[in-house]
Amino acid sequence: MTRTYFLGIGGTLMGSLAQLAKALGHEVSGSDKALYPPMSDQLAAAGIEVFEGFDPAQLEPAPDVVVVGNAGLPRGHPAIEHILNRGLNYTSGAEWLGNVVLRNRWVLAVAGTHGKSTTASMLAWILESAGLAPGYLIGGVPKNLDRSARLGDTPFFVVEADEYDTSYFDRRSKFVHYRPRTTIINNLEYDHADIFPDLAAIQTQFHHLLRSVPGDGLVVAPSADDHVDDTLKLGCWTPITRFGAEPIKHAQPMDNGERFHPGDSEADGSAFEVCLNDQVLGRVQWSMLGRHNVNNALAAIAAARHAGVAPAVAIDALNAFEGVKRRLERIYDDGETSVYDDFAHHPTAIRSTLQGLRKAVGGDELIAVIEPRTHTMSLGTLRDELATCAAPADRAIWFRGENIKWDVTELATHCVVPSTVFDSIDRLVEHLAAPGIRRRHIVIMSNGAFGGIYGKLVDALNESREGH
């Protein structure tokens, strides 16, 4: 039996990989500086031994391989130094996934700056609904599926393909290890300012991804995204199917003449016709909102078709798609106030989400509560974009966390909607729990735990309601 130790096992990727290793029959253990639900619960349910904090005794006897995570594990970390000094066999999470799980599979990779988790969840659900029992690894929790990762029973494997670097010893993007046959590139913008100096550096990594897709595979790309088109121009040897409402802006030599696009649609994205060129294939009517999710759906339908799923089957599956946890997930509604949890990580994603909700709620009050927590936003790299991204809201509330390296008050001053700044979760909860003047929708936007604001606000709203 292969003994596999995961260093950084509490993270979404590493914890999911550990569960895949367990399903493969490996003897699995691992450690992290801290372990929290839901991952700690998933690992316990899988019977995986975990440790809080690293002790060299955990690596006695030496495992066959140590899978090294990427979060908070630089040179100088005691675990890294121990592994190197002992000469233990080690690899990165992405490389382990590529070599141990994905080889000889039909890999369907979902890449891009925005929408990876949602699109990968749609695609896995479509394949599941078609009876293909796919494996998958998704950086979120799909509501239609019972976990974020599984091996599957067929060659098909859907993977969320992240452009973030692989590990302290491998600065390439994770997705270069996956070798997909079907590849979605949802969109491309500047992000991850902590590792990429500019957009061109990100495009280079996406070019490396394209170089790994076989000639009889498929690339699914937006019809009018200049940054994606510039990347395709660097070299593409695989047929390209397009998706999006706009006609193809910059034709590429490998374009196959196919474009999935929305026909008759609701403005909020809650219903839309699915068209392939001039043919109407069916209509999606679902609980999702926003033009971005319409595009995510079109891309997933195109990719599933490459794997043999008829668009009509994909459309039926999407009609039952419930979304992904923390993607505009409504966590409270008393008829007067609705609260949503949204995994916002970039100004464009914030704007698209708010636009979709605005079209759905009409003249109700829309309040965006934003923690600019990602590395890129916390460094202040996208301050100008942040100042305009909340435009669909009636007002914005910015939370200044300890990791913010710049003046959030200046952002609030220049924001295009009325804005305030808080640096205390308790005061923010008290402010939001006060009764509103009219029907209101509070969208809490962060890629982290946000100081437990979600549960605290729901409790405060319930108490306020009981008090009245």
Alpha-carbon 38 to chain mean position: 17
**Beta-strand pair 271-276/279-285:** antiparallel
3-state DSSP call for residue 149?
strand
pLDDT in tens, 315-339: 999 999 998 888 888 999 998 999 9
- Name beta bridge partners: 227: none
Calpha distance 19→81 (Å, rounded): 26
Count CA within 13 A, CB hemisphere, residue 32. 22
pLDDT in tens, 290-306: 899 999 999 999 999 99
Cβ atoms within 10 Å, residue 417: 18
| Cβ contact 252:242 at 8 Å | no
pLDDT level of residue 467 (50, 70, 90 thresholds):
low
What are the structural domains of the chain?
A: 3-93 (3.40.50.720), 104-319 (3.40.1190.10), 329-467 (3.90.190.20)
**Whether pLDDT at 46 is above 70:** yes
| Cβ contact 7:73 at 8 Å | yes
Average pLDDT score over the chain: 91
pLDDT of residue 126: 98
| Cβ contact 164:187 at 8 Å | no
Short-list 154, 147, 157, CA closest to 303: 157
The CA-CA-CA angle for residues 43, 46, 49, to 5°, reads 60
3-state DSSP call for residue 242?
strand
pLDDT in tens, 348-407: 888 888 988 999 899 999 999 988 876 555 565 677 788 898 999 999 999 887 777 777
- Name beta bridge partners: 28: 4
Tokens 């100004």 found at: 347
pLDDT level of residue 445 (50, 70, 90 thresholds):
confident
**Whether pLDDT at 464 is above 80:** no
Average pLDDT over residues 232-240: 97
